Structure 1
Amino acid sequence: MSINLAQLKQLQLDYAHRIILHDDVGFKTPTLIGGTDVGFENNGGITRAAIVVLSYPSFELVEYQVVKIPTTMPYIPGYLSFREFPALALAWQKITCKPELLLVDGQGVAHPRQFGIASHLGLLLDIPTIGVAKRRLYGQYEPVAQVPLSCQPLLDNHNNTLIGHVLRSKAKCNPLFISSGHRISQRSALNWVILCLNGYRLPEPTRFADAVASNKPLFQKLLAKSANATA
């Protein structure tokens, strides 16, 4: 598999200039919020992408889609979005109840070229997105207090501009790295992640997406709850 990293790097730089880092004019409180999760099977040979749609503020499961396709690119740090985007785009096409906001398991502009998977999805799907990453990829920050909802700004390594926030979402858990993806401000991105927390480390949209993608017991509970609600 031949990968032209110079070409992909230039594409990231070009796309990054098109990212909007302020709230959409007229953006209202969403009634549907989506979450994404991507995993890999068969020693990385299969990409598994899940998108869930939840009602807000009840966080009831409205719809979900899981897509599995052959992996088109190996893992290369800093270029993960090109590996994950094809399967996520297919899952998005299958979603009939499109959410007004999408929380993405991964980086937004907290990326060496300010174009992580949340920005990639937001730009190409034209939807407000937020990056919710479990680990730091890029940026510097001061230690985050252990008190839940403690937060520190995440700053660019070179010019100290704000590229996100580091949030202690739950006591005794590692912090999350929150950054704007597209069409939303850094402050709103942080606020929406906090609003979607429900006593867990991850916000409900990405927590549910992970459960759906991996067929975890939480997903079975969601299905049973939905079946009871419609019975």
Structure 2
Amino acid sequence: MNPLPFPVPKDLAEAARIQKEMRERVIVAGDPVPVRYVAGLDASHPTRFSRQQGLSVAVAVLWDRQEQRVVEVAQAVLDAEKLFPYVPGFLSFREAPSYLAAVARLSRPPELLLVDGQGIAHPRGLGIAAHLGVHLDLPAIGVAKSLLYGKPQGQLPAEAGSAIPLLDRWGQPMGYIYRSRTGVQPLYVSPGHRVGLVESLEFVRSLPTKVRLPEPLRIAHIEAGKARRRSAEG
């Protein structure tokens, strides 16, 4: 894939303006059931004590839903000092260039992006999954390991497969808190682009899950850690 150049804002005011404009282009509708090739996206960045320095590594794992296997793994390594600064709520401007470079190196374009991060469950409605989905005009779903924004509607049961809506400040659902395995910490699933609210949850549920994360993301997480260690050693 050869996506359009990614806009890098010069300051937070411009970043907020871009987020608002792109949020208006987000489509929260669509059923990804026919999708076969999914790109699981994860990244490994410098530690929180030196976020502006070091190497930023992103991995794209192309997953075949029909054959339930990894087809290909692509990675991109960028100098963290040359990326947008680390600012909570604006992380997509820092992370997206690495993800886009990794996706561009896949020999087959994905039909859907499954991103380690937020979709529309974001203070301005544009987490990394939504940002990438709109930029590439691809269906996208965010699967985050921690809560960024919103509140749960009720208490999440401990059983595998249970889910409760995640509500925005107006009490409207914008995603789900989802327990993939009995007793494990929940995941935060929200549509990114061209996928409906319920459909995003059902798609994640349809993916094999051995531990906590769905397999495309679990493998991407492992590969991103390995790639960053290799890059640091090199």
Q: Per-residue deviation at 1:101?
A: 1.4
Correspondence 1:104-183 to 2 at 5 A: 104-141=115-152, 142-157=154-169, 159-183=170-194
Does 2:56 align with 1:47?
A: yes
* Equivalence for 1:14: 21
Give, in whole Å, the separation in 2 of the partners of 1:118 and 1:139. Answer: 17
Task: Determine if contact 1:59/1:204 at 8 Å carries over to the other structure.
Answer: no
1:197 deviates by 3.2
Corresponding residue of 1:222: none
C-alpha distance in 2 between matches for 1:173 and 1:198: 12
Structure 1 residue 10, shift from structure 2 partner: 1.3
Whether contact under 8 Å (2:130, 2:193) holds in the other structure is yes
Distance 1:126 1:139 in 2: 26
Aligned match of 2:37? 32
Q: Which residues of 2 match residues 85-100 of structure 1 at below 5 A?
A: 85-100=96-111
SS at match of 1:152: strand
Q: Give how far 1:205 is off.
A: 1.1
1:5 aligned residue (8, 12, 30): 12
User: Secondary structure of the equivalent of 1:47?
Assistant: strand
> Are 2:60 and 2:102, in contact at CA under 8 Å, matched by a contact in 1?
yes
1:66 paired to 2:75? yes
In structure 2, stretches of 5+ residues that fail to align are 1-8, 228-234
Moved more, 131-140 or 39-48: 39-48
CA distance in 2, matches of 1:180, 1:83: 20
- Please, what TM-score do these two structures have when normalized by structure 2? 0.86
Aligned partners of 2:72, 2:151: CA distance in 1, in Å? 37
C-alpha distance in 1, partners of 2:65/2:11? 41
Could you tell me how far apart the structure 1 residues matched to 2:69 and 2:39 are?
A: 11
- Contact 1:41/1:48 (8 A) holds in 2: no
Aligned counterparts of 1:70 and 1:199: Cα–Cα separation in 2:
33
Classify the secondary structure of the residue corresponding to 1:215: helix
Cα shift at 1:66? 1.0
Partner deviation per Cα, 1:136-190 (whole Å, 9 max, x = no partner): 1001112211111111000102x11111000011122110000000000011100
Other structure's SS at 1:37 match = strand
1:28 Cα deviation after fit: 5.2
Cα deviation, residue 3, structure 1: 5.4
CA distance in 2, matches of 1:58, 1:176: 25
Residues 180 and 209, structure 2, Cα contact 8 Å, conserved in 1:
no
State the distance in 1 between where 2:209 and 2:158 align: 18
Instruction: Tell me how far apart the structure 1 counterparts of residues 205 and 186 of structure 2 sit (CA, whole Å).
Output: 12
Question: Sequence identity, in percent?
Answer: 37
CA deviation string 1:34-69 (max 9, x = no partner): 100011147432211000001113321111111110
How many residues align? The count is 212
- How far apart are residue 128 of structure 1 and its match? 0.4
| Equivalent-residue separation in structure 1 for 2:72 and 2:208 (angstroms) | 20
Determine the structure 1 residue equivalent to 2:66: 57
Q: In structure 1, the residue corresponding to 2:198 is in which secondary structure?
A: helix
Kept in 1: contact 2:63–2:71 (CA 8 A): yes
Question: 1:192 and 2:203 equivalent?
Answer: yes
